[in-house]
Homo-oligomer: A and B are copies of this chain.
Amino acid sequence: MAGRTETREATRLDATLKAVDDGLDAALSRLFDFLKIASISTDPAHKAACTQAAEWAAGELRALGFAATVHPTPGHPVVVARTDTGAPRRVLFYGHYDVQPVDPLDLWETPPFEPRLGETPDGRKTIVARGACDDKGQVLTFLEALRAFKSVGAGAPVDVTVLLEGEEECGSPNLPAFLAAHASELSADLALVCDTGMWDPKTPSITTALRGILHTELTIVGADRDLHSGLFGGAARNPIHVLASLIAEAHDASGRVTLPGFYDDVREMPAEVRQRWESLGLTAEAFLNPVGLGVAAGESDRLVIEQIQSRPTFEVNGMFGGYTGAGTKTIIPARATAKISFRLVADQDPAKIRAGFEAFAAARVPADCEAVFSWGEGARAFLVPPESPDLSRAAGALEAEWGIAPVTVGSGGSIPVVGQFKNVLGVDTLLIGFGLDDDRVHSPNEKYDLSSFHKGTRSWVRILEALA
C-alpha cells in the first residue's frame, strides 16, 4: 500500500537524518583526524603522509562496511571501496585525499594541519585547515551520509563505489591509466563528485558545466649568461621584456584573448541561459569586492558570470626572471619564465589552443631569442544535459533540505576526471558540493562552514534516497 510504503520510507529518511544530527560531533572529530594528515601531493617530502591519508580513508570505509583496497600507483595510491548489496542502482563517488601546498605559511593564523573551529565575521561557524573544504571536508560530507544510513541499520539505498585519488592537486597524472585498468571494477550508473560549491550559504547548487584546463610553462631564452646591464643595456635583448610583451599582447583592450583561433570552437550559451544569468544580477562589485577587487577584467561585452563560466581564459599563474632577491642587481637576465594555464569551454580542443599559442609566440620572439615550451595534458570542458532525470531527482532532494531550489551553474574551475569518467567508464556525473566562495581554497586559512558539513551530509542522505 503506497501510503504505508511512503510512511516507512519517510520514517527511514527521518531516522537517517536524525542520525546525521546526533552524530555530528563524532563526525567532526573524524574530519579533524583526516585534516591532521599533511597529504600535500606536490611535495615529495609528504609522500608518506599521502599514503597515510589513503590508509585512513580506507579504514573509515571498511568501518562503514565497504570492501576497500589501497592500490599503489607510480605516484600516490588510489583507494577503491565497494558495497555489494545487490541494490538496483550503483553510484560511483569520486574525491581526493590530497591537498594543496600551504605557502605562504606566514599568512596562516593557525598551523594549516592543526584543524580548529572558527567563525566568520557574520557569525557562521567554520572548520579551519588546509583541506577543510578542498577536498577532505566534502569527502566526509558524503561518507558521513553513508554512516548515517548504516547506523539506522539499512545501509544506503544504492550500492556505492568510492574512488579516492591522491594526485588531484597535481593534475592526476596516474588516474587515466588507473581508470582504464580498473574500468570493470568502477562501472556504475552515475558518478557523484562533491568538489564544487553552493550558490550562497543558504542556497545549494548543482554544477552542470565545468571549464577544461591546459597548462604550459614558457621560457624565453636570450643571452647565454646574465649580462651587466650597464655594459650591455640598451643593445642586448631582455627576455623579461620579450615575455612581458607576449603576455601583454595576449589580450586586447576589450579583454579578448588575441591568440589565433582561440574562440573558433567556443559554444555560445543558449539565449535562455544568458537571460537566466542576467536575471541573477551578479555584479562585478558583488563578486569581486570580497577579495579586494571591483572591476571585471574579462571581455567587456560579457557578464561577470559569463566571464567565469562560459568564456575561456589565458592566465599567467606565475612569472619569474632575473634577480629576485633583496636589494638590487644590475643584470639583464639570460632567461624569463611564465607558468600559464588556459581555462577551456565547450568545445575548445586543447591541441588547437596549444598550436595557436605556439604560433602566437613564434611570431613575436626576436630572431636571437628562443621560446621553449613545456606543455601539460589538456582537459576539455564538461556539460550535463539539462534534461537528465538524475539531475531533477538531486535538485528535488536539495530543495527539500534547504527550502529553496538549487541554482544550476557552470563552474569556472576544472575537474578533468569528469571527462575521463565519460570517456573511459561511459558514466555521467552529477557535481554537487557545499563549498562557499569565501572558503579560501588554494589560499591560507582555508575553511569549510560547519553548516555545509552538517546540512551537506543531510543533503546526501536525501539525494541517495532520491536516486535509488
Contacts and interface: CB of A to CB of B under 8 A. Distances in A.
Interface string A168-185: 001100000000000000
A308 to B, nearest CB: 5
Contact of A288 (B236, B287, B322): B236
Interface in A290-318: 291-298, 304, 307-308, 311-313, 315-318
Contacts of A100: 329
A190 to B, nearest CB: 24
A412 B288 contact: no
Given A223-B293, A227-B291, A231-B412, A315 B238 contact: yes
Nearest to A41: B327
Given A222-B293, A291-B224, A316 B241 contact: yes
A404 interface: no
Sort chain A's interface into a size bin.
35 or more
Dominant secondary structure of chain A at its interface with chain B: loop
Nearest to A210: B230
B321 A319 contact: yes
The quantity of this chain's copies bound in the complex is 2
A442 B329 contact: yes
Contacts of A322: 316-319, 339
A333 B308 contact: no
A2 interface: no
B244 A248 contact: yes
A235 B287 contact: yes
Contacts of A333: 317-318
A4 B331 CA distance: 54
B320 A320 contact: yes
A33 interface: no
Contact of A328 (B241, B297, B329, B341): B341
Question: Of A233, A297, A313, A412, which is in contact with the most chain B CB atoms at under 10 Å from its CB?
Answer: A233
A409 to B, nearest CB: 11
Contacts of A312: 234
A413 B230 contact: yes
Contacts of A413: 228, 230-231
A413 B229 CA distance: 7
A322 B338 CA distance: 10
A129 interface: no
A272 interface: no
A374 B77 CA distance: 48
A221 to B, nearest CB: 9
5 contacts: A101-B329, A230-B413, A231-B413, A234-B297, A244-B245
Complex A-B, nearest 5 residue pairs according to Cβ-Cβ distance, in ascending order: A230-B413, A224-B292, A318-B322, A248-B248, A318-B323
